[in-house]
């Protein structure tokens, strides 16, 4: 069972299908964030992005597992309380678009930090909920401005981003309040990087896992390049696509491009060994 659904679902099937979790003002949390002090120049802190510092990398490097685990736990405690994300499927996204309002298309802070992407090329992120009305208070967070969208317009934009190969994710701003609908890829999303590179779960896997039906797979390999989580490979032995269920985040991007419809999503909860692997 997903701990967030348990704590914050309030009878809804998933915690992010509970409208109450979209209802808080967006930036209330900022006051309490230690990084707002900006004492030391630090790109992670400046971008508000959870990532791990040099001390963590050095502990990993020298094989100091005790320190690594302690720092990982600290990072989890902070991220899960304030700002972390979870992958969602297209079907779930469509349900969420019926709940959230307003929806503001904005520039992506991760790609700005990773690539210095100019604002006009960088409108891939969405802010949601009443906090968005106050976006002008934070000119740098919202560099390039905000385009408010109707749910139908948002759906169109999200479909375009998805066809480009970006993964839909939801992010909390003061857990359990969800205020970010991001569209992410490896290696330019700080959350995917932190989760995949150093196993610090600032991004949780989704509730589903993709499976390939080898009898239907025609071996075209189109799905392989859609995976942003290093879960999909093409097997030269069987000439079929291969999905690693332990690595799969359940975003369903691979399924989008499968012409013979050989990929389906199964609920993580139906696989006992994976049910708690987030």
Binding residues (CB under 8 A) for other proteins: these are 30, 35-38, 40-48, 51, 54, 57-58, 60-61, 112-116, 137-141, 187-188, 193, 197-198
59 vs 243, which CB is nearer to other proteins? Answer: 59
Minimum Å gap between C-beta 199 and other proteins is 12
Helix, strand, coil abundance in the chain, percent, nearest 5: 40, 15, 45
- As given in the structure block, the two tokens for residue 139 are 């000119």
72 vs 255, which CB is nearer to other proteins? Answer: 72
39 vs 273, which CB is nearer to other proteins? Answer: 39
Minimum Å gap between C-beta 122 and other proteins is 11
Q: 215 CB contacts (<8 Å, ≥6 apart)?
A: 262
Strands (E) across 60-145 are located at 85-87, 103-106, 125-128
Minimum Å gap between C-beta 63 and other proteins is 13
Identify the DSSP state of 45.
H
40 vs 152, which CB is nearer to other proteins? Answer: 40
Strands (E) across 100-175 are located at 103-106, 125-128, 147-149, 167-172
Distance of CA 48 to the CA centre of its chain: 15
Closest to 115 measured CA to CA, from 165, 189, 45, 166 = 189
Minimum Å gap between C-beta 60 and other proteins is 7
3 vs 46, which CB is nearer to other proteins? Answer: 46
Minimum Å gap between C-beta 191 and other proteins is 13
139 vs 272, which CB is nearer to other proteins? Answer: 139
Minimum Å gap between C-beta 106 and other proteins is 14
Q: How far apart are CA 27 and CA 138, in angstroms?
A: 10
Q: How far apart are CA 181 and CA 124, in angstroms?
A: 9
């Amino acid at each position: 069972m997903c701990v967030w659904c348990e704590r914050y679902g309030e009878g809804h099937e998933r915690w992010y299908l509970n409208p109450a979790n979209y209802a808080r003002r967006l930036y209330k949390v900022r006051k309490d964030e230690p990084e707002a002090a900006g004492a030391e120049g630090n790109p992670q802190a400046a971008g508000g992005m959870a990532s791990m510092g040099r001390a963590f990398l050095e502990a990993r490097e020298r094989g100091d597992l005790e320190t690594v685990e302690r720092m990982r736990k600290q990072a989890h405690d902070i991220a899960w309380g304030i700002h972390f994300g979870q992958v969602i499927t297209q079907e779930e996204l469509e349900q969420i678009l019926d709940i959230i309002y307003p929806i503001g298309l904005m520039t992506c802070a991760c790609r700005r930090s990773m690539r210095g992407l100019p604002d006009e090329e960088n409108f891939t992120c969405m802010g949601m909920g009443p906090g968005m009305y106050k976006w002008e208070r934070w000119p740098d967070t919202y560099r390039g401005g905000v385009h408010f969208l109707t749910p139908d317009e948002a759906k169109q934009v999200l479909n375009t981003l998805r066809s480009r190969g970006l993964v839909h994710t939801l992010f909390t701003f003061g857990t359990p309040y969800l205020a970010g609908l991001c569209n992410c890829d490896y290696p330019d999303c700080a959350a995917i990087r932190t989760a995949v590179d150093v196993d610090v779960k600032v991004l949780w896997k989704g509730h589903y896992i993709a499976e390939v039906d080898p009898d239907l797979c025609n071996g075209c390999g189109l799905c392989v390049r859609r995976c942003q989580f290093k879960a999909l490979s093409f097997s030269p032995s069987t000439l079929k696509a291969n999905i690693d269920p332990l690595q799969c985040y359940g975003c369903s991007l691979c399924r989008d491009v499968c012409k013979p419809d050989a990929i389906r999503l199964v609920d993580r909860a139906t696989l006992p060994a994976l049910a708690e692997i987030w």
